[in-house]
Amino acid sequence: MVDWRHSVEALYRADAARLWRAVYAYAADPDIASESVAEAYAQALRRGSAVRDPAAWTWRAAFRIAAGAMKDRRAGDRQPVRPIEHVDSYADPDLLVALRALPEAQRAAVILFYYADLPVSAIAHRLGSNALAVRANLSRGRRRLHALLGDDDD
């Protein structure tokens, strides 16, 4: 019998750090990143073998949970946007600030493309979108990111 818990833990040890960083770049909030990653893996653990592709599923779930948390946060007390908490001073602060200026769909697309190194079709799969929309978001997000980073000479 397959030890599902062991498999999910192995996946967590191999992939959760990248997922956490990707969600952190997406949500700009370490609490949302931790919440989303923990919830995604907990649900994967609970669902067991019903999850066909745990690696893709946890990314998809974590991004959706993060999107829901960001929506709840916006609909809540309407506080001014929280300053970015740089978890590590060696990270690229300009990049994180620029990412926050992108619409969420563009932000998710560029993070999965440039950080997770996924092809467009896999990004579409993980975001529950289609390749045409991902390509459009990726193109717009890339141009916007270059402009925000002071590198719009393309």
Residues 112-131 contacting other proteins, CB under 8 A: 114-122, 124-125, 128, 130-131
Closest contact distance (angstroms) between CB of 101 and other proteins is 15
Q: What is the radius of gyration, based on Cα positions, of the chain?
A: 16
Q: Please report, as a single letter, which amino acid is at residue 92.
A: D
> Which uninterrupted H or E stretch holds 21?
helix 4-27
Q: Work out whether 49 is an interface residue with other proteins (CB under 8 A).
A: yes
Q: Work out whether 43 is an interface residue with other proteins (CB under 8 A).
A: yes
Q: Which of 28, 32, 51, 105 binds other proteins (CB under 8 A)?
A: 51
Shorter beta-carbon distance to other proteins: residue 82 or 143: 143
Give the helix ranges, DSSP H, for 28-130.
30-47, 54-75, 93-100, 104-110, 120-127
Closest contact distance (angstroms) between CB of 77 and other proteins is 20
Report how far residue 99's alpha carbon sits from residue 111's, in angstroms, rounded to the nearest whole number.
9
